[in-house]
Amino acid sequence: MSAPVKLMIVDDEPHLRSSLTFWFREEGYDVLSAGGGREALMTLVREAPQILLVDIKMPGMDGLEVLRKVRETSPETTVIIMTAYASVETAIQALKDGAYDYIVKPFDPEAISRLVRKAAERYTLISENRELKARIEAAEPALVTAGGGPMARVLELVDQVAPTDTSVLVTGESGTGKELVARLVHSRSPRRFGPLSIVNCGALSEGVLESELFGHEKGAFTGAVGRRRGKVEMAHEGTLFLDEIGDVPPKVQVDMLRVLQEKQVTRVGGNQSVPVDFRLVTATHRDLEDEVASGRFRQDFFFRIHVFVIELPPLRDRQADIPVLAQHFLGRFATAMNRKIGGFSPAALAAMSDYPWPGNVRELQNAIERAVVLCKGDTIEASHFPFSGPAPAAASLTLASAEEAHIRKILATMGFNVAQAARALEIDRVTLYNKMRKFGIDRP
């Protein structure tokens, strides 16, 4: 679950501050308060709230001056003006000066809740789109090829399907870049100005996944202290990306199928349907046809998501791309660590070409980061890699044995600290524990 939105109430009336603080904490916000403009600006610097509810008439620094200062020092912060009826014209001026909206006192708590909720959703979408743009700009070069090859076909397929509203299923081994392809489909589609709503289905239990996808009403279950919109609802007019769709429980598959058919969603604990319009992109490392045949995945849901398939090749099938990707990651990490490292020795290039990369591009990225940390000169050597000497050829390894060897190596490197190893492998701890049980790996 994402961190709660931080809201600051700025008003010189203690009773109103207290009432609003209680109300919005019940709604699930992280609430701060300030009794005047100067206190608010100091708190803004220290606590960085995303939304400010500011009274327009306060002694000393009034709401308009607070708005102007916030626009100068923290332009991304959303400001909502609270005003008495007699000051509506001043509030309208505040809108011209950059306020998000205004509300007239005395106000209905439900009305101000709706306004703040809309502001919070706007802030979240702006933040997610900014992050998406940064991640696409940083990561897209990792999809370049050394001239043709299997990834050129992948990018071709992305360009073909992105302008449509067709559902896309991205398949491939862990670490091949399935989420990146989903982000590219979104960023090159007509929905790119809408939200990209992402859910990692494999990392959540059934109950949590239902709440994450469909949202919930206040009191729907223990801990549901306020209404919460789900990722399906938040994807309205944008793209919904469901990663590890093969891990979705049958009940949630049925619920998602209903959402796709009816184009509306009902929050957990609620009875009112909300219209939704989104483009669906899913991803999995599993063979869904085998999952359907074994009865672990619903056939009707499979047909619904299996419309346009983009299969990502493993890194061992992209030998010509390895030096290109390695140089890209080297440039990124050398810059981040302020290191002057120009390239790789012939032995390092040979070691990378011989290694089967069971963790694919993700493992290569981690290996280059580690090498940059260890390198004391201006060239990466073979000794800087976590694997020592050429690994057996990929053809002589099963995927399972390669995965087991890699997991054992990362666990050993991290001193069997499961949390650190999971971060290095870029999987969650539950998945790592499951894989350790599968391969019979015991902690010392």
Task: Read off the pLDDT of residues 9-46 as tens digits, 9 standing for 90 and up.
Answer: 999 999 999 999 999 998 889 999 999 999 999 999 89
Confidence of residue 394 (pLDDT cuts 50, 70, 90): very low
Rounded to an integer, the average pLDDT of 358-362 is 88
- Give the separation between CA 266 and CA 232, rounded to whole angstroms: 10
User: Whose CA is closest to 183, among 230, 240, 232, 141?
Assistant: 240
Burial level of 201, CB count in 10 A (0-12/13-18/19+)? buried
Higher pLDDT, residue 148 or 341? 341
User: Could you read off the pLDDT of 47-94 as tens digits, one per residue?
Assistant: 999 999 999 889 889 889 999 999 888 888 999 999 876 667 777 888
What confidence tens digit (pLDDT) does each residue in 220-263 have?
777 777 778 889 999 999 999 999 999 999 999 999 999 999 99
Average pLDDT for the chain: 85
CATH architecture of the domain 6-125 equals 3-Layer(aba) Sandwich (3.40)
pLDDT at 369: 92
User: Locate tokens 């491939």: which residue?
Assistant: 172
How crowded is residue 185: how many other Cβ atoms within 10 Å of its Cβ?
28
Q: What is the dihedral of CA 302, 304, 306, 309, to 10 degrees?
A: -150
pLDDT exceeds cutoff 90 at 373? yes
Q: How confident is the model at residue 128 (pLDDT cuts 50, 70, 90)?
A: low
- 144-311 folds as Rossmann fold (3.40.50)
Residues 16, 20, 23, CA angle at the centre, nearest 5°? Answer: 145
Res 143: pLDDT: 59
- Would you say residue 1 has pLDDT above 50? no
Mean pLDDT, rounded, for 323-344: 89
Helix runs in 140-205, H state only: 150-161, 178-187
Cα Rg of the chain (Å, integer): 25
For the cut 50, the answer to whether the pLDDT of residue 391 exceeds it is: no
Give exposure, 64-75, as e/b (b: 16+ Cβ within 10 Å): bebbebbeeebe
Give the mean pLDDT of 368-393. 81
* pLDDT at residue 389 in the model: 47
Write out the two tokens for 66: 């607070």
Domain ranges of the chain: 6-125, 144-311, 318-439
Q: Provide the pLDDT for residue 393.
A: 45
Looking at residue 33, what is its pLDDT? 93
- Interatomic CA distance for residues 420 and 441, integer angstroms: 16
User: In the CATH scheme, what is the code of domain 318-439?
Assistant: 1.10.8.60
| pLDDT digits 0-9 by tens, 170-203 | 999 988 889 889 999 998 999 988 899 999 998 8
Question: Contact, 151 vs 318, CB < 8 A?
Answer: yes
- pLDDT value, residue 132: 54
| pLDDT tens string 294-321 | 999 999 999 999 999 999 999 988 888 8
